[in-house]
Amino acid sequence: MTEGSVNMNVEIARLQKEIAERLTMPSENLIWEFSDNGDIKVLDLITVNPAHRQSFLFHSTQGFSKVDALYEMLKYVKNYKEIDNSYTIQWSIKGNEELHTSYFRAGNLMDALKKFSYGRDINSTVIFSITLNPIS
């Protein structure tokens, strides 16, 4: 391993820690999913709700490297409450009557649904309501 890659790994860890702190979430409730789209690195930041252990997409960014994609995520996290609308989705897992309430920040209702359904079979859940929350 070269010194440059060690520094890159340290920077990745530092950025992930700062993002987690700004979100006030423990690191075990965050999944950092990197993928390649040609020459571009895509970062999907996934949150895991500790109450019902379901995961949801928080936000996606892209960059020329993992570090670049993390910097873009940090920029978003610093301003997301001013950028995106707040939505509440009430839902349950099919076959289970327990009602869950989850909150999403998204540009529109369809983006909120995409974040909700990320990585899951949409037929595995029942959505009872989606509400655009008032601006506080």
Residues 39 and 88 both lie in one domain = no
Sheet holding 100-106, edge to edge: 100-106, 85-93, 125-132
Identify the DSSP state of 93. E
Residues 42 and 95 both lie in one domain = no
Residues 2 and 66 both lie in one domain = yes
Residues 76 and 94 both lie in one domain = no
Q: Residue 124 CA to chain centroid, in angstroms?
A: 20
Q: What are phi and psi of 121, to 5 degrees?
A: -75, 115
Residues 27 and 74 both lie in one domain = yes
CATH code assigned at 73: 3.30.160
Residues 53 and 89 both lie in one domain = no
Residues 70 and 97 both lie in one domain = no
* Strand (E) or helix (H) holding 68: helix 66-83
Structure tokens at 117: 């359904």
Residues 104 and 69 both lie in one domain = no
Residues 78 and 88 both lie in one domain = no
First to last CA, the chain: 49
Instruction: Give the number of domains in the chain.
Output: 2
Give me the residues paired with residue 80 across strands.
none
Residues 74 and 92 both lie in one domain = no
Per-residue pLDDT of the chain (136 residues; tens, 9 = 90+): 444 556 899 999 999 999 999 999 999 999 999 999 999 999 999 999 988 889 999 999 999 999 999 999 999 999 999 999 999 999 999 999 899 999 999 999 999 999 999 999 989 999 999 999 997 6
Tell me the Cα Rg of the chain. 16
CATH code assigned at 134: 3.10.20
Closest CA to 26 of 47, 56, 53, 52: 47
Domain with 92 in it: 84-136
Please tell me the distance from the alpha carbon of residue 39 to that of residue 18, in angstroms, as a whole number: 26
